[in-house]
Structure 1
Amino acid sequence: MDSTSNKPGTQVEIRIRNAGEADLDHIRVSFPDGLEVDYGSVPKGSLSAFHSAGRAYRYAGISAQAAGRALSLQATDYLGETELPAGRYTYAVSADGGHLTLELERA
């Protein structure tokens, strides 16, 4: 099943922007409802395609490889967080300094 949407604005869609200085490979995002989306490789300065996310928040669990090194950012809980309304968003991901960071941007 293709997870890209043909109806923007009716659901939450997330894409990845590589905001760091290293190419990112094997990017996987784990959303709170158990959905895991494979975004593949996103070279530095590039954007992935949008994928339907189900429920999403300003952050999520994410894993990637940079220069062959496996990195991850765990989302332990979403207590006190507000679910994102329907729309398109970008997770700006960076692997600078050997640490993975994520910031939400409105697409």
Structure 2
Amino acid sequence: MALLFYCPMYKPAEQTVTETTRDTSEESFSVQPKLDGTVGGFHTGNQTAVVSLVSSERLKLSKMCAKLAVVRALMQERLTAAAEEIFALVERTIAEFEEELCRSKEENQRK
């Protein structure tokens, strides 16, 4: 069972394998260990160590998209906090200018 996440940047890669009569999106492969413990060539078939190329690629993309979503959410949170701080500083500066302008008007009226 694989977790799938929506990623708006994901575009399926074009297949570089030449077309055959079989559906290549369902094809799988397995790695056959040799007697000396090293890994031999790839063999297609229904083996115990079967890895689906398509699902593993989708899993990688899903993980990458999930990480991007987390980073995007953190960036949005930090940028929102920064914008709120900037807005508060601008509000305070405007309030100080208004107070100073009001004092200046009062001083001018006294003269």
Structure having the higher Rg: 2
TM-score (norm 1): 0.23
Q: Which has the higher contact order (CA 8 A, sep 6+)?
A: 1
TM-score (norm 2): 0.22
Give the helix-richer structure, 1 or 2: 2
